[in-house]
Structure 1
C-alpha cells in the first residue's frame, strides 16, 4: 500500500517549494515525460481515470497500492520495464488524478471493473498485470473477473485471497491500531511518519512540516472513500478465497523479506495457492520495488521473458 510515499518524500527534500510534496510529484511527472511516457484520460460514465503509457513490447498494466498514484509507485521500475514492454500506468479511482463525477460506491469490484474498462479503452485484448499491496488485490480481482484478458500476473506484497480474519487481527496487533483505517488513512504528521516506517524502516528523520504537507497532498481529498475501500476488503474475507481463484497459470509472487504489513509467510501461502513462483527480496519491507529496484526489476523482467517464451510455470521459491 505504501511504497508510493517514499518517492515524493525523497524528491521533496531536494526541491524547495511552497508545497514540497506537490513539487516532488511534478518533478516525477516531468521525468516521466522525458522518458517517453504520455499522459491520458479515460472516461467511463461518471468514472475518470488518469493514466500514463509508454515503452515498446507486450502490454503490461501496473496497478499501484493504497495512497499516491501510479507514477510515484513505479518510478524506479518504469525505465527497465519500458525497454521490453508497453506499460499502462493508471491512477486507481479515488487516488492521484482519477476520480468520480457522481455517486459510485468505492469497492474492490469497482476498481477491477474500471481496469477492465481501461483495457477496452486501449484496445488491449490480453495483458500482463502487476499489482503491489492493495493493487495486488485489484490485480487478482481483475484476473477473476476476466481471466481471458490476463496473460500473467505479478503480485507484490499482497496476500489477496489467503488473507483472512486471523491475519487481519495479527496485522492490527503488529501495527498497534484497532482498524486498518487508523494506519492507512493518516490524520496527522505522526500518522504519516508511521506509514513511512513501514516502507523504509530506519530511514532519515523527516521534518514535521513535510510530513503534514504529504498528508494534505496525498490523503485529504477522499478520506471517506479510502475508509470505504478498506472496509470493503474486510467484507470480502471468506468470499474472495483461494478456491475462487480463476486467473492465469503463469503467476509470480514477489515479497519483501521484512514486510511488517503482510509478513513473508503470507507470500508463501499465496504462492502455494496460486501455484506461483515466489521471489523474496532480502532486506526489503513493504516496498521492495522502491527499496531494492535492481533485484526487483531483474526478477520481474526474467519472469515476463519466460512468459513470452511460454516457460513461466515454476513452483519453487527462488532466491
Structure 2
C-alpha cells in the first residue's frame, strides 16, 4: 500500500495527547479530509470520465505542459501525489487519476494491466492531450511504461519511481517474498487484517513511525483502501505476476521517450540494484534519494517534488499540450 503513515502517526499522537481514543479520532479519515482541502485549494476538483464498462475518477489543474501522475498499488491519486500535484500545477497541466479498482474508479472489465492502460489512454484522448509526460510510482511505473510503449508519438518524457518495469525477474520476486516472510505477492500487498497492514508499512518505509500505530488505525487504513475490493486487487496482482513475461516481451526493443528513474536507497520492495539494472537496460539515468524507502512521494515529499520539478522543467521550453 502506498501509505500515509507518516501523517497518520502525527494525527494519532495528537489524538492521544488530547486524551481521545484513536478509533474515535479516525486519523485516516481526518488525513483524507485534510488532503482533499489542500488539493481543492490548488484547483483540483474531482471529475469522472464515464467508460464503456466503468468510470475513471481524476483531478486536473494548472496550465502548461501536460503531466500524468500515476499512483501505485494502493490508496488513490490524491493521497499518493498530494505534495507533487499541488507544486507542479504552478508550471504544468497536471492530471491525477485514480487507477481502476482504486479510489473512486471502478470497472466491470477483468482486472489487468492492459485494462489500466486502456483507461489511461481514454483519459488522455478525452482531455485532448497532444503530448504528455508520464510519472509512475511502483505499480504505476508498469502502467506508465505500457502506456509509453503504446503512445510513443504522444509521450514526451517519462519518470519512473521505484518500479522495475521490464527487468523484474522471478528471482527478484522470490527474494521479496522471503524478505517479507509471505507466500505470495497477494499476501503482502492485499492485507486481510491489521497485522498485514503493519507488515506492509515496515516493508515500504525506510523511516518507521515514532510510535506504534494502534490496531484501530491499521484497521481504518485497511477499511479505507482495501475492504470491498480485495477480489479485484488479487486478480490485478496475479495478472501482473503471471503476465510478466508477456508484458516484457511486448515491450522488448521498445524505443522509450526521454526517461529518468528516481529510487530510494532503502527500498525493500524493489531494492536499488533493480533500479540500476533498469536504468542500464533502457539507457536512463538513476537519481538516488538517500534514506528513502519504497513510497518516495509520501515518505520524502520535498525531495521527490524537487526532483520532478527539475526533471520536468525542460518541458516548459518544449512541447505543450493542446
Alpha-carbon distance in structure 2 between the residues aligned to 1:129 and 1:197 = 28
**Residue 78 of structure 2 corresponds to residue 71 of structure 1:** yes
CA contact (8 A) 1:143 1:246 kept: no
**Residue 169 of structure 2 corresponds to residue 164 of structure 1:** yes
**Residue 147 of structure 2 corresponds to residue 148 of structure 1:** no
Report the equivalent of 1:52.
59
Alpha-carbon distance in structure 2 between the residues aligned to 1:25 and 1:77 = 16
Q: Which has the higher contact order (CA 8 A, sep 6+)?
A: 2
The CA deviation at 1:82 is 1.3
CA contact (8 A) 2:39 2:86 kept: no
CA contact (8 A) 2:63 2:90 kept: yes
Alpha-carbon distance in structure 2 between the residues aligned to 1:295 and 1:105 = 37
**Residue 68 of structure 2 corresponds to residue 87 of structure 1:** no
**Residue 239 of structure 2 corresponds to residue 239 of structure 1:** no
The CA deviation at 1:9 is 2.4
Q: Aligned ranges for residues 246-265 of structure 1 at < 5 Å? A: 246-265=254-273
Q: Aligned ranges for residues 1-319 of structure 1 at < 5 Å? A: 2-6=1-5, 9-10=8-9, 12-13=11-12, 14=14, 19-100=26-107, 102=108, 104-200=109-205, 201-204=207-210, 205-241=212-248, 244=252, 246-309=254-317
In structure 2, relative to structure 1, the CA distance for the partners of 1:75 and 1:245 (3 Å cut) is farther
In structure 2, relative to structure 1, the CA distance for the partners of 1:250 and 1:127 (3 Å cut) is same
SS of structure 2 residue aligned to 1:129: strand
Alpha-carbon distance in structure 2 between the residues aligned to 1:10 and 1:69 = 19
| Per-residue CA distance 1:197-253 (angstroms, 9 max, x = gap) | 223342221111110111111101210111111111111222233762525330010
SS of structure 2 residue aligned to 1:233: helix
The CA deviation at 1:184 is 0.5
Alpha-carbon distance in structure 1 between the residues aligned to 2:285 and 2:86 = 24
Report the equivalent of 2:18.
none
CA contact (8 A) 2:149 2:256 kept: no
TM-score by length of 1: 0.91
Alpha-carbon distance in structure 1 between the residues aligned to 2:312 and 2:39 = 22
CA contact (8 A) 1:4 1:69 kept: no
The CA deviation at 1:78 is 2.0
Deviates more, 1:207-216 or 1:9-18: 9-18
The CA deviation at 1:36 is 1.5
Query: Where do 5+ consecutive residues of structure 1 fail to align?
Result: 311-319
The CA deviation at 1:279 is 0.3
The CA deviation at 1:38 is 1.6
CA contact (8 A) 1:37 1:54 kept: yes
Alpha-carbon distance in structure 2 between the residues aligned to 1:27 and 1:229 = 30
Report the equivalent of 1:317.
none
Alpha-carbon distance in structure 1 between the residues aligned to 2:65 and 2:58 = 17
SS of structure 1 residue aligned to 2:245: coil
TM-score by length of 2: 0.90
The CA deviation at 1:18 is 6.0
Alpha-carbon distance in structure 1 between the residues aligned to 2:128 and 2:315 = 21
